[in-house]
């Protein structure tokens, strides 16, 4: 993302959400060079067979936004609106950029987002961002490891974004799978850059016997787009 232009967020039609997103993307962009230098030695891997998450130092990401890009956010917002999704689940809040798109869809659909994040400082700040955008009433952020916090939920999900660490995606997916409504959409970010850690998930949702339609789409970044059809 080269520049943060207000037009990027216009479709949301909500000045508070748009202003919060513009501010946060500007903050995220300040980490741009740190991210570039981090990935530079692995650039061929990233754009080739993908990086195995096990080789990453997780603490590097403790203060990083690592958000979805605006094209992905817009796409997810539009999809959640098209589905009239009322119950939206997110794995990996970070500072809440993706959660703002999902929260705005929940507000428009008269629904809710349950998002999960295990770093307490990110949870605190993400909640402040929801407040700033006027979305607190539609978004609940569960603090802790999603494998634990999920246990308290038996919501039936219409729409899911899995954007926590790649090696955990399949585990989290299997936990929520019994609660996916027929027709539910599941989006997973970074399936190209971290393909080795996503392979089990991709093999599963791309096997029609398991009841899904799935393909990688590219709203700027590779994202697996899956529909539960059975
Ligand atoms: C790629 S970032 C999420 C970015 C966010 N979706 C956005 O677009 O702004 C991944 C986040 O998932 C969190 N995370 C990773 N594993 C987790 C787990 N097991 N439970 C809860 N959160 C987790 C990390 O702390 C990190 O903040």
Q: How far is CA 104 from the centre of its chain?
A: 14
Kindly report the average pLDDT of the chain as a whole number: 95
Q: Is the pLDDT of residue 202 over 80?
A: yes
> Which residues share a beta bridge with 187?
161, 225
Mutate to test the pocket of ligand 1, among 39, 165, 168 (most ligand atoms within 8 A of CB): 165
- Kindly report the CATH number that applies to the domain delimited by 70-228: 3.40.50.150
Tell whether ligand 1 has an atom less than 6 A from the beta carbon of residue 72. Answer: no
Can you give the C-alpha Rg of the chain in angstroms? 16
Cα(217) to ligand 1 centroid in Å equals 21
Q: Is the pLDDT of residue 2 over 80?
A: no
pLDDT digits (tens, 9 = 90+) for 72-85: 999 999 999 999 99
Tell whether ligand 1 has an atom less than 6 A from the beta carbon of residue 135. Answer: no
Cα(62) to ligand 1 centroid in Å equals 10
Q: What percent of the chain has pLDDT over 70?
A: 99
Tell whether ligand 1 has an atom less than 6 A from the beta carbon of residue 164. Answer: yes
Tell whether ligand 1 has an atom less than 6 A from the beta carbon of residue 194. Answer: no
Tell whether ligand 1 has an atom less than 6 A from the beta carbon of residue 116. Answer: yes
What confidence category does residue 46 fall into, taking pLDDT thresholds of 50, 70 and 90?
A: confident
Residue 7 to residue 29: CA distance in whole angstroms: 17
Say what the pLDDT of residue 123 is. 98
Mean pLDDT of 106-117: 98
Structure token digits, residue 186? 């599941």
Mean pLDDT of 159-167: 97
- Domain residue spans of the chain: 70-228
Q: Which residue has the tokens 């999920």?
A: 150
Residue 214 to residue 4: CA distance in whole angstroms: 31
Q: How far is CA 135 from the centre of its chain?
A: 17
Mean pLDDT of 28-41: 92
Say what the pLDDT of residue 39 is. 86
Say what the pLDDT of residue 102 is. 98
Say what the pLDDT of residue 1 is. 60
Q: Is the pLDDT of residue 156 over 70?
A: yes
Residue 118 to residue 92: CA distance in whole angstroms: 8
Structure token digits, residue 174? 């299997």
Say what the pLDDT of residue 34 is. 93
Strands 87-91 and 139-143: unpaired
Tell whether ligand 1 has an atom less than 6 A from the beta carbon of residue 21. Answer: no
pLDDT digits (tens, 9 = 90+) for 53-63: 999 999 999 99
DSSP-derived secondary structure for the chain: -----GGGGGGG--HHHHHHHHHHHHHHHTTHHHHHHHHGGGHHHHHTT---GGGS-GGGGTT---PPPHHHHHHHHHHHHHHT-SEEEEE--TTSHHHHHHHHHHHHHT-EEEEEE--HHHHHHHHHHHHHHT-GGGEEEEES-HHHHGGG--PPEEEEEE-S-GGGHHHHHHHHGGGEEEEEEEEEE-TTTTHHHHHHHHHHHT-GGGSEEEEEE-SSS-EEEEEE--
Q: Is the pLDDT of residue 8 over 90?
A: yes
Structure token digits, residue 69? 């890009």
């Amino acid at each position: 993302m080269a520049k943060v232009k207000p037009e990027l967020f216009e479709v949301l039609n909500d000045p508070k959400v748009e202003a919060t997103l513009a501010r946060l993307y500007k903050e995220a962009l300040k980490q741009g060079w740190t991210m570039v230098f981090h990935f530079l030695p692995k650039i061929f891997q990233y754009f080739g067979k993908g990086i195995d998450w096990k080789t990453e130092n997780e603490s590097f990401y403790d203060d990083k936004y690592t958000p979805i890009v605006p094209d992905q956010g817009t796409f997810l917002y539009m999809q959640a609106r098209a589905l009239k999704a009322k119950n939206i689940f997110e794995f990996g809040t970070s500072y809440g950029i993706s959660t703002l798109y999902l929260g705005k869809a929940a507000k428009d659909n008269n629904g809710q987002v349950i998002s999960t994040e295990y770093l307490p400082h990110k949870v605190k700040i993400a909640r402040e961002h929801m407040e700033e955008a006027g979305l607190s009433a539609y978004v609940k952020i569960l603090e802790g490891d999603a494998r634990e916090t999920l246990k308290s939920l038996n919501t039936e999900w219409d729409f899911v974004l899995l954007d926590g660490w790649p090696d955990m995606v399949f585990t989290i997916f299997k936990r929520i799978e019994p609660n996916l409504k027929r027709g539910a959409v599941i989006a997973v970010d970074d399936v190209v850059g971290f393909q080795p850690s996503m392979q089990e998930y991709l093999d599963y949702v791309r096997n029609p016997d398991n009841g899904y339609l799935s393909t990688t789409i590219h709203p700027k970044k590779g994202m697996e787009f899956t529909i539960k059809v059975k």
